[in-house]
């Protein structure tokens, strides 16, 4: 691989030796295929690699660019005038420009994550027809016009047939990248007119490295990588699911401290189980809800962290205004978090914590460790 291909795009294609070598040779030789098919398992970085590949080609100074040049920044934001991004979307989203823009913003922020919608998503014929029209436009900068069709196997039959016409007679200086984890679902004639670029499952050490670089502690990164089956998006989804569960349990604990419903307290204790790391995370999350409660009381709502629960926090602040009790409860939870290693019986730990926490909220002094 020559020096001319040493651009940041190699970091967007980590762990994919075959793909990196093939695309680097194309860059070095100046012989680009008019259409590529990035194929391989879901969540291994095909879409991120497509953006990095295009950024390398469109970059005005690839020898020295760190991703901050005008073209590279626009590509990272999915906002370059010479690049069209087509995603499978539910009809309700594709018909709503604001929702579509929100999805694009989410994808640009995390190109390694998989798309997930509550309703079926597809790429329709209207999107393909509009794409064909835009591809005929003259590029605004060197490197040609590009289209990335993510999860191209989501094209409807009508869309796939319409797209085939574009592949058969592509406009001059136009390039297309399809990504697919189900290439067999594509029309054989589409597959035959694209150059395949094979992507494989990522190694566990690489997934750990990526997660650690994103702020995960090494132990958690190791756990997520073990269960990821070579997919970085699976690891990120599991982390998001865990984060969501912790926040929900933390909010439930916060609410339970203000409640006299013993059945609710017992139910929460059963949910929390005997997991020390989960216990510590939930206590920290509940402490953050108490802090937000306090901030709302102090008129500092702009500093609240749990924005998804802002309405509930404001309601709680209207009903319970004893700032001293809330401060004491925050201190109590912080102290209890430090004693976890001495409490192997987590069911008793939780019931004791809730009982004492309720007493503090009620304005009673609590003694004992």
pLDDT tier for residue 1 given thresholds of 50, 70 and 90: very low
User: Tokens for 35?
Assistant: 């259409």
Encoded tokens for 207 = 């997934």
Q: Which of 180, 200, 220 is the last residue of a domain?
A: 200
Q: Which of 200, 223, 251 is the last residue of a domain?
A: 200
Is pLDDT at 352 greater than 70 in this prediction?
Answer: yes
Q: What is the CATH number of the domain that holds 335?
A: 1.20.272
Shared-domain flag, residues 175 and 241: no
Residues 58-62, mean pLDDT to the nearest whole number? 87
pLDDT at 220: 87
Can you give the CATH number for the domain in which 108 is found?
3.40.50.300
The answer on 45 and 193 residing in a single domain is yes
Asked whether residue 78 is domain-assigned, the answer is: yes
Residue 63 lies in a domain: yes
Residue for token digits 């499952």?
201
pLDDT in tens, 110-123: 898 888 887 889 99
Alpha carbons 56 and 143: distance in angstroms, whole number: 9
Q: Is residue 133 one of the residues assigned to a domain?
A: yes
Quote the radius of gyration of the chain (alpha carbons, Å): 26
In a domain, 27, yes or no: yes
Of 108, 196, 118, 119, the closest CA to residue 152 belongs to 196
Residue 140: predicted pLDDT: 94
Give the pLDDT score at 342: 61
Q: How many domains does the chain have?
A: 2
Which pLDDT band holds residue 3 (cuts at 50, 70, 90)? very low
The string of pLDDT tens digits covering residues 332-342 is: 998 888 776 66
Q: What is the mean pLDDT of residues 144-170?
A: 95
Q: What pLDDT is attached to residue 276?
A: 67
| Residue 222: inside a domain | no
The whole-number average pLDDT for the span 278-298 is 91
Residue 193, domain extent? 3-200
* Choice between 220 and 22, residue whose per-residue pLDDT is larger: 22
In sequence order, the 6+-apart residues with CB closer than 8 A to the CB of 185 are: 153
Q: For residues 168 and 284, state if they share a domain.
A: no
Residues 160 and 307 in one domain: no
- Does 296 lie in the same domain as 168? no
pLDDT score for 227:
87
Question: Which of 147-156, 220-229, 237-246 has maximum average pLDDT?
Answer: 147-156
Contact yes or no for 110/119 (Cβ under 8 A): no
pLDDT of residue 320: 94
pLDDT of residue 115: 84
pLDDT the model gives residue 7: 52
Question: In the predicted model, what is the mean pLDDT of residues 281-305?
Answer: 91
* The pLDDT value given to residue 200: 95
Same domain, yes or no: 188 and 248:
no
Residue 209 lies in a domain: no
290 belongs to a structural domain: yes
**Beta-sheet strand order (sheet of 145-149):** 83-86, 145-149, 174-180, 35-39, 195-198
Q: How many alpha carbons fall within 13 Å on the CB side of residue 214? A: 17
Average pLDDT, the chain: 89
What would the pLDDT profile of 171-206 be if each residue is shown by its tens digit? 999 999 999 999 999 999 999 999 999 999 999 999
Angle at 254 between CA 252 and CA 255, to 5 degrees: 65
pLDDT at 351 exceeding the cut of 80: yes
Quote the percentage of the chain above a pLDDT of 70: 93
Tell me the CA distances in angstroms from 246 to 240, 252, 285, 315, one per residue in order.
10, 10, 7, 22
pLDDT at site 277 = 67
Residue 141 has pLDDT above 60, yes or no: yes
| Residues 22-61 as b or e (16 or more Cβ within 10 Å = b) | bbbebbeeeebbbbbbbbbbbbbbbbbbbbbbbbbbbbee
Last residue of a domain, one of 156, 178, 200: 200
Structural domain contains residue 168:
yes
Q: Assess whether 161 and 238 both reside in one domain.
A: no
């Amino acid at each position: 691989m020559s020096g001319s291909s040493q651009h940041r795009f190699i970091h967007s294609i980590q762990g994919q030796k075959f793909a990196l070598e093939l695309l680097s040779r194309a860059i070095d030789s100046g012989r680009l295929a008019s259409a590529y098919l990035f194929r391989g398992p879901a969540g291994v970085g095909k879409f991120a690699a497509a953006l990095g590949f295009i950024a390398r080609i469109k970059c005005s100074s690839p020898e020295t660019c760190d991703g901050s040049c005008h073209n590279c920044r626009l590509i990272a934001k999915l906002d370059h005038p010479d690049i069209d991004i087509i995603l499978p979307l539910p009809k309700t989203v594709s018909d709503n420009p604001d929702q579509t823009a929100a999805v694009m913003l989410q994808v640009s922020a995390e190109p390694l994550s998989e798309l997930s919608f509550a309703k079926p998503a597809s790429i329709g014929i209207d999107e393909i027809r509009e794409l064909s029209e835009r591809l005929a436009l003259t590029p605004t900068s060197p490197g040609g016009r590009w289209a990335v069709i993510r999860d191209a196997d989501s094209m409807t039959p009508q869309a796939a047939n319409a797209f085939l016409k574009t592949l058969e007679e592509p406009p001059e200086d136009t390039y297309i990248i399809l990504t697919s984890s189900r290439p067999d679902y594509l029309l054989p004639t589409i597959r035959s007119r694209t150059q395949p670029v094979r992507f494989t499952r990522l190694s566990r050490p690489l997934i750990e490295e990526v997660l650690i670089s994103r702020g995960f502690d090494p132990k958690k990164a190791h756990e997520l990588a073990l269960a990821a089956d070579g997919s970085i998006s699976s690891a990120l989804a599991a982390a998001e699911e865990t984060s969501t569960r912790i926040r929900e349990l933390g909010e439930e604990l916060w609410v339970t401290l203000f409640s006299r419903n013993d059945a609710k307290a017992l139910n929460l204790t059963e949910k929390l189980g005997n997991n020390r790391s989960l216990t510590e995370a939930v206590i920290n999350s509940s402490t953050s809800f108490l802090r937000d409660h306090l901030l709302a009381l102090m008129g500092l709502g702009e500093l609240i962290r749990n924005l998804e629960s802002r309405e509930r926090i404001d309601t709680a602040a209207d009903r319970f205004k004893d700032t001293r009790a809330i401060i004491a409860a925050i201190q109590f939870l912080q102290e209890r978090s430090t004693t976890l290693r001495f409490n192997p019986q987590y069911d008793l730990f939780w019931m004791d914590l809730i009982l004492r926490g309720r007493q503090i909220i009620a304005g009673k002094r609590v003694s004992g460790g």
